[in-house]
Amino acid sequence: MNAYDEYMKGIVMPMRQELVGAGFTELMTAEDVNEHMSNAKGTSLVVINSICGCAAGLARPAVIEALQAVEAKPEHLVTVFAGQEKEATAQLRNYFEEVAPSSPSIAVLKDGELAHFISREQIEGYPMEQIRDHLAQALEQVSAQ
């Protein structure tokens, strides 16, 4: 690992821990993604994490608060870190090619199929509470299906 990679690894650690501490499992490789997707029965909440400010101030806090607010908790909480685990992120995006790549972004999957997607354009510039409520509503709707 070169000095840049080592530096970036240290920088993103607290950004990873924010989701891991809330119960998310990191998918670090393309194989991790494939394994999750092949076994993901029920609802999966997938966060494509990012180093940007809108991930830090909006996406991650909105996801954590939405999970605290909803009755219907997803069976699976997983995350990939865009720009860090490039192969895992690319592989995950292959499972929902109908939406443009976006980070940060939030996907709700039902039995491995994309049920709802919140792109960066629906995160950046919006109040955290609005993103939280958007996600909470999507989680409730998907679980009711």
Point out the residues that are catalytic.
52, 54
- Exposed, middle or buried, 1 (CB in 10 Å: 0-12/13-18/19+)? exposed
- Burial of 115-137, coded b for 16+ CB within 10 Å and e otherwise, reads bbbbbbebbbeeebeebbebbbe
Give dist(CA 37, CA 35) in Å, integer: 6
Give dist(CA 130, CA 92) in Å, integer: 26
